[in-house]
Each structure stands twice: as structure tokens, then as C-alpha cells.
Amino acid sequence: MGAWFQRLIVVFTICLPLTALTVAGCASPLISQVSLTQSTISPNGDGVDDFTFIEYSLEAKAQVSIDFAAANGEIYSFRRHEPRSPGRYRARFDGSYIPDPARAEARVLPSGSYTYIVTAQEEGTNRRQEVRGSLTLVNSDTRPPGLDDVIVYPETISPNGDAVDDEALISYRLTKESLVSIFISDGAGRRYFLEEENQKSAAPHSHRWNGTAAGNLLPNGSYTLSLRARDKAGNVTEYLVPVTISGGGTPKLEIAAVRFTPPTLPLGGALKVEIEVQNVGDITLRTMGPPPGTAYTTNMNFNSFHAGNDPLAPPLYYEQAGYWRVGVSWDTADRPYPIRWGMGRDLAPGEKTTITGTVQILVDRTRQVRFWAAVIQEGVGFGEQVGLKSILISY
Ligand SMILES: [Ca+2]
Ligand SMILES: [Ca+2]
């Protein structure tokens, strides 16, 4: 436990040692009327005698520290050099102290007899005074909540809807029922909550993070992810993980024009398709096959292409999550957008391209077929139906 303790040097005071009840030894006291609302507490979160108030009056502007000395001489710091104006104060003490001021962790003091020490250092002078008194802790719950098996994967995310590292899975095992909060801090100390304090059981838990906070995507950069667990007694455990957002953005592909020609075709004729698209988002859109120009029939779909034309080989252009294609569908199609073409190349923000291809019309016993197009982000969704056009089939 030694590492938790903050050892303090007892400093020289210009007043004689004082008790809570006497101010003898000082002409004009800096602190007076020091008392506890309860001199025995049981910091265990059961709702009974879990805390006390340390009350004191300050006669001049001063920096106030409050420490607790255990019977073995260990000193635990509760308040450190906090500037205070003259007045009456009450500090709520729940039995916990902060072992390391650089961290947000807290630990409940073990059961035992303690001396509390309220120290005031007047501002602008060397006048200093300390007042001591007794506090007893019984039935302390000193077992802190554990955040075990913490995994944040991946630690660098690229929240841009391409289905690659768009979100991180945060998983951990809580060893004790606690209030858990999860937040992201940036270099400037701004804090973005992914989860406010929530009661969680002693069990494994997880949270998915997609780079947003309160619905807004955070800027690219380095952050610290904090997991914090606070039990009822006042023990606080924190776990920190560096995380990075890189390549975040909103993908958006728009269809500028669609042409289906000619308007009348004999059965078995080839419908020519031209689709103009533009990347109107702020990230590069990745694409895949089949390449523009690939010929289809209405009996085919994007899974009809196999390596070496071997129908037993896996399809070449199955739906790969995150990739962008354009699709064509019609009234009697047997699946959403059976015909899909890639863009030929990845499209940078602002870039345009025109995708062409043909569809041989083999729909039987139909005089008129309506065709339309849409952009597709595989595994994510389809864009709006655009370019709706009725094609007459002549027999
Ligand atoms: Ca209690
Ligand atoms: Ca991504």
C-alpha cells in the first residue's frame, strides 16, 4: 500500500500546537471553530455514517490543506493548498483520499483512529496555523473496483463509413459493482463523455465508439480514453488508453446524371447505361469490380463472375463492406440492384467519373420495363433511386 500514500512534511508553525477546542497561543487565530459533524464514520457505502463534514472558520484569505494522520504516522492528503476567502466552511469527507494528485483515483482509508490536521497559510504573509482533532473510521471498505482485461481495439480508428476501423470496441471486466463513466479527453483537457456515470455490475462490459461525442465526429488527432469506476464507499479506479482518430470524415457519392438508351429495344437487345457520379464528401471513396463496361444480361447479377469462368470458383465481385459501386435495378429484378459496376478507380473528394455498361434484356412477356440506378456502399446501404426510365420491349 505504501505507494498510495502521500507523505507530507510537518511544517513549522508560528502558533503553538492547537486542538479543535482551543486557540491559545495565537494572538489572532487564522482558523477557528474547527469541528466534525460526526467523529466516527463507516465509509462502506451502506448509507449509514458514510461521511462527516469538517467545519472550520477562516479569518483571513488563506490556502487551506486538510490531512489525516494515521496512528502509524502515515499522512493522507485530503485537500492541498486550496485558496479560500475568510468565512465559514464545511468539507465533506467520505473516508477517501487521493493517493496521486496527478490521477483521478481515490482510495478509502483503512479502519482506525486518525488525527485530522487543518492547516491554513495566510496569503501574502508567513502566518500559518494548524488545528488538529480526532476522527475514527470503522468498517472501511478499502477494496477498490477493478477494471480488468481492458481492451480497446483498434486504438486508431478512421470513422469514415468505409467499414475499415470505423469504430473501436472498448471491453473491460468490472470486479465490483460501481458507477462507471467512459470519456475521451483531448490535449486541451476538453472532456467528451461516451457514457456518463452508470451503475454497472461486477461483470464483463463493452462499449462501441465510432469517433463521435454527442453525435458529432471529433476532429482527427490524439486523445486519451478514460474508464473510471467509483464504488459506493468512495474508491475510484481509472484506466487510461491513448486513442487516435485518423482519416475521419463523411463519405458521400452522388449521381449527377443517368442515361438508359435506347428507349425501345427488341427482346435480347442491349440497353446502354451511363451513370455520372461525383464524390461530394470529404474522404476518398474506395471502389471494386466489376469494372465499368462489364456486360450483363437481366439474368445475371454481380455474383455471376467467377475466376477463370469456373462457376464453382467463388464470385469475384461479392459484396465487400465499405466499397462503393453504382447499381441498376428494374421492376421484376429478383434482388436489390442485381447489376453493379465499380467506378474504375477510387474517387477523391470532388472527383467525377462516368460509368458505362450494357444490360441485355432477357425479360420475357413484358412490354415495358422500368429501370433505375443508385449508388451503393456495400454493407452500408443504397442511395436514392434515380434516373427512372421506362424501356419498351418489342417482340
Ligand atoms: Ca457506513
Ligand atoms: Ca474507416
pLDDT per residue as tens digits for the range 56-79: 999 999 999 999 999 999 999 999
Q: Which ligand is nearest to the CA of 285?
A: 2
How far apart are the CA of 353 and the centre of ligand 2, in A?
23
**Averaged pLDDT in 10-residue chunks for the chain of 395 residues:** 36 40 58 96 98 96 96 93 96 94 94 97 93 97 98 96 91 98 95 96 97 91 98 98 93 96 96 98 93 97 94 94 95 95 97 98 88 94 95 90
Q: What is the end-to-end Cα distance of the chain in Å, rounded? A: 90
Q: Which of 319, 318, 290 is nearest to 379 (CA)?
A: 319
- Give every CB contact of residue 9 below 8 A, 6+ residues apart in sequence: none
- Give every CB contact of residue 380 below 8 A, 6+ residues apart in sequence: 161, 163, 321, 322
Q: Which ligand is nearest to the CA of 162?
A: 2
Domains of the chain: 2-137 (2.60.40.2550), 147-245 (2.60.40.4070), 253-394 (2.60.40.10)
pLDDT given for residue 293 in this prediction: 97
Q: Which ligand is nearest to the CA of 95?
A: 1
- Where do the H-state alpha helices sit in 105-252? none
- Where do the H-state alpha helices sit in the chain? none
How far apart are the CA of 249 and the centre of ligand 2, in A?
9
| H-helix or E-strand spanning residue 117 | strand 112-122
How far apart are the CA of 384 and the centre of ligand 2, in A?
23
Q: Which ligand is nearest to the CA of 211?
A: 2
Paired sense of beta strands 204-209 and 212-213, if any:
unpaired
pLDDT given for residue 282 in this prediction: 87
Q: How many CB atoms lie within 10 A of CB 394?
A: 9
| Dihedrals phi, psi of 371, to nearest 5 degrees | -110, 150
pLDDT given for residue 380 in this prediction: 84
How far apart are the CA of 248 and the centre of ligand 2, in A?
7
- C-alpha atoms less than 13 angstroms from C-alpha of 48 in its C-beta half-sphere: 3
| Dihedrals phi, psi of 250, to nearest 5 degrees | -110, 120
Instruction: Give pTM, 2 decimals.
Output: 0.72
Q: Which of 297, 302, 301, 299 is nearest to 358 (CA)?
A: 297
Are the beta carbons of 226 and 354 closer than 8 angstroms? Answer: no
Q: Which residues partner with 375 through β-bridges?
A: 326
Q: How many CB atoms lie within 10 A of CB 149?
A: 11
In the chain, the amino acid numbered 61 is K
Q: Which ligand is nearest to the CA of 111?
A: 1
Q: Which of 236, 279, 241 is nearest to 145 (CA)?
A: 236
How far apart are the CA of 50 and the centre of ligand 1, in A?
4
Q: Which of 132, 133, 129 is nearest to 62 (CA)?
A: 129
pLDDT given for residue 27 in this prediction: 58
Q: What distance in Å separates the CA atoms of residue 253 and residue 285, rounded to the nearest whole number? A: 8
